[in-house]
Copies of this chain bind each other. A is one copy, B any other.
Amino acid sequence: MNAPARKTSAATAKDREATKRRLIEAVGRVLARQGFQAVGVNTVAREAGVDKVLIYRYFDGLPGLVAAFAREGGFWPDLDELCGGDRQAFLALPFAKRMSLAVRNYLRAVRSRPLTREILAWRFLERNELTDALDTARAEAGAAILALAGEGVDRPDVDLPALHVLLGAAINHLAVRQDREPIFAGLALDDPATWERVEAMLDRMVRAVLGE
């Protein structure tokens, strides 16, 4: 199903697929360079070097294009990244250590993905159709890691969901904030040393709450 297209009228191959790809990639570039505020029909089309009408034709509008972009994936860390590569070794660790590691890796994952931070901020501020498209993948990624970290663990003495929510909220906030406002409560978020201190404190919190 490649070389000379057969049948009815398969892909006149003036390169529709390539154009779609160019549009999807343009979304990523605009998002990374100018932020989500700039993600509009006109800007994205200009960035892709394509007429904006194609966004409507191929994706049924901007929300559709953003949804396609979201489906490309890669924004959210996968399980292997969060548990440090070796899932078996991860599961062999005691619970507190497991949580601590997952939290640290989540922080690093978000910090290393500018696009992810942008999406995080975006989803935060607008409840529109564009952002809905980006939600599903994130929710799934979050649920998966929590399930893995808590696998086979029974700790009725700790409100784990509440702990997760607080740790996740803190990390999300700091990561997003790093891009906008470099100083928070006297700490320089653009200084690597600050992030080491943050990691250390996260570790300490997790261990302290879970009882080492």
Contacts and interface: CB of A to CB of B under 8 A. Distances in A.
A33 interface: no
A113 interface: no
B127 A121 contact: no
State the oligomeric state as a number of copies. 2
Contacts of A176: 124
Interface residues of A, number: 44
A127 B181 CA distance: 8
Interface of A: 37, 121, 123-127, 135, 142-143, 146, 159, 161-174, 176-177, 180-181, 184-187, 194, 197-198, 200-202, 204-205, 208-209
A176 B172 CA distance: 12
A174 B166 CA distance: 8
A159 B197 CA distance: 8
